[in-house]
Structure formats: structure tokens, C-alpha cells
Amino acid sequence: MRRIKITLAYDGTDFHGWQVQPGLATIQGALEDVVSEIEGARVAVAGSGRTDAGVHALAQVAAFTIANPIPLPNLRKAMNRLLPPAIRVTAVEEAAQDFHPRFQARAKTYEYRLWRAEVCPPFVRHFVYHYPYPLDVAAMAETAPVFEGEHDFSAFAAADEKDALGGSKVRRIFSSRIEDAGERLLYRVRGSGFLKHMVRNLTGSLLEVGKHNATIDTLRELLAPGSKAKAGPSAPARGLFLAEVEY
């Protein structure tokens, strides 16, 4: 048997997220259908993490096990021929039999994109949050690093079915930065792992700072041990990209 690691990019606009859901179009579901067709038997595909409905990926990582001896370049071509155009496999490689894209990931980087100009070009509308209103970008940039370090991010997490297991919501953020690129404002955050809706909630909180509805101290309070408060509005899914997974 062969353990195959793939890197893929996708436009999440028309998908109900990564995870398989009966009767709904998902990234994992599309991959499993295609790999199963190539293998001639049902194949499970594991990902580095779940992206929500409408979220995109520049370099998601997934893995599966097959017996088919198809050469790697041909496997990539076959998958891309069978997959919908919104999903593309960019790299394929052999991996160790025990490789798991989620459990062995050391860090992930997400990028959130805001479009600041008055008019949003139709060609980018599915890939940015159009926000043509006043923002104090300097305050946002000054505040973004407050998330760095190890914190309990409960205030920035949406309810998850896994909450019943009582897992820790402590995560380590290695970098959290705002980049002003003119018409496009980027928020890039790199961490050991992320909770459900966490990046969208971090972004939404920084937007509240930019609107002068919150301050750096407000966010520090949300990160304080034992805090029961919740972060402000979550940023829309369409501006979010999984940019990189490191091993």
C-alpha cells in the first residue's frame, strides 16, 4: 500500500467547507470520490484541518492510502482531470505510512484579504471582504501582535461538536501581522493550530479596533485567563485563505 501526500488549492465559494456532509458538495467529498474512482475501491482522504463553507485554500495538505501503482505525475493529472475546476492538486508525493496531515503539522498560516477601494472588481469579489469604509489601519497594525504567544482563545472560538470532549483551547500564535497593500489589506497569522472560526474572529476583532469600537486593551481582556466574554462580529468566510501548512 502507498501513502500519498497531496497539496491542493481550491476556491471554496460553492462548497460547504472541507468536511464530508451527506448530500452537500464538500472538498473532502470531491477528493474521496475521485481517488476512489482511480483506486476502484472506497478511499478515505484526511486533511490538515477543516476549512469552513466559503473559505479558500492556497496550499491545503491531504493524504490517503491506495494500492494503485500509478506514477505520481499521472496520479496528479488523473485527479485534476476528474475534479471540478474549483479544486486543483498542485503537488503529489509519497509519504511515510504513518503520515497524518493534521496530527503532524507544526504550523499553519492563514491569510485574510479585505478590499478597501470604493469599487470591488467582479473578478475578486468571491475572494475578499469588500470594506470601503474608514478604518484606522495603523491601530489595527499596532494591535495585531497582541495575539502572539500562547493564550486561551476560547473568546475567539465558535461552538464546536468537539467541545464535549473537553479539549484545551490554548493555542500558540507565532506571528500576527497586518499588511497594508493599498486597495487590499491583508491579515496574516501563523500558529500551531486554530479553533473553529478563530481566524475570522481574530480578523473581526481587529476590524472593531479599526472602527474604534475596541482597543488593544479590549482584546487583552478577551485573552485573559478565565475570561467569559466573547469576541465581536466574525469576518465573512469569503476573505479567508489557508495559505500554508508546515511539517
Domain count, the chain: 2
Summarize pLDDT for 67-102 with one digit per residue, the tens: 999 999 999 999 999 999 999 999 999 999 999 999
Residues in the chain, total: 247
- Residue 55 grid coordinates: 473559505
Rounded CA-CA distance 201/238 in Å is 13
Rounded CA-CA distance 139/26 in Å is 37
Let me know if 136 is a catalytic residue: no
* C-beta atoms surrounding 195 within 10 Å: 19
CATH of the domain at 83: 3.30.70.580
Is residue 27 located within the same domain as residue 149?
no
Is residue 135 located within the same domain as residue 209?
yes
Indicate the pTM of the whole model: 0.93
41 phi, psi to nearest 5 deg: -160, 160
Domain endpoint, select from 95, 115, 145: 95
Residues 6+ apart with CB under 8 A from 25: 14, 15, 16
CA atoms within 13 A on the CB side of 67: 3
- Which residue range is the domain that position 20 belongs to? 2-95
**Above 60 in pLDDT, residue 164?**
no
Is residue 76 located within the same domain as residue 47?
yes
Q: Is 187 helix (H, G, I), strand (E, B) or coil?
A: strand
Domain endpoint, select from 67, 95, 123: 95
Q: Are 193 and 102 in contact (CB under 8 A)?
A: no
Q: Which of 33, 52, 163, 180 is catalytic?
A: 52
Nearest to 34 by CA among 1, 57, 48, 70: 70
Strands (E), 13-106: 46-47, 56-66, 87-95
Is residue 125 located within the same domain as residue 195?
yes
**Res 163: pLDDT:** 57
The whole-angstrom distance between residue 171's C-alpha and the CA centroid of its chain comes to 15
Residue appearing with cell numbers 467529498:
29
Residue 102 falls within a domain, yes or no? no
Is residue 57 located within the same domain as residue 136?
no
**Res 159: pLDDT:** 72
Confidence of residue 230 (pLDDT cuts 50, 70, 90): confident
- Residue 83 grid coordinates: 475534479
Is residue 118 located within the same domain as residue 239?
yes
**Res 160: pLDDT:** 67
- Residue 31 grid coordinates: 477528493
**Above 70 in pLDDT, residue 120?**
yes
Is residue 25 located within the same domain as residue 136?
no
Residue 101 falls within a domain, yes or no? no
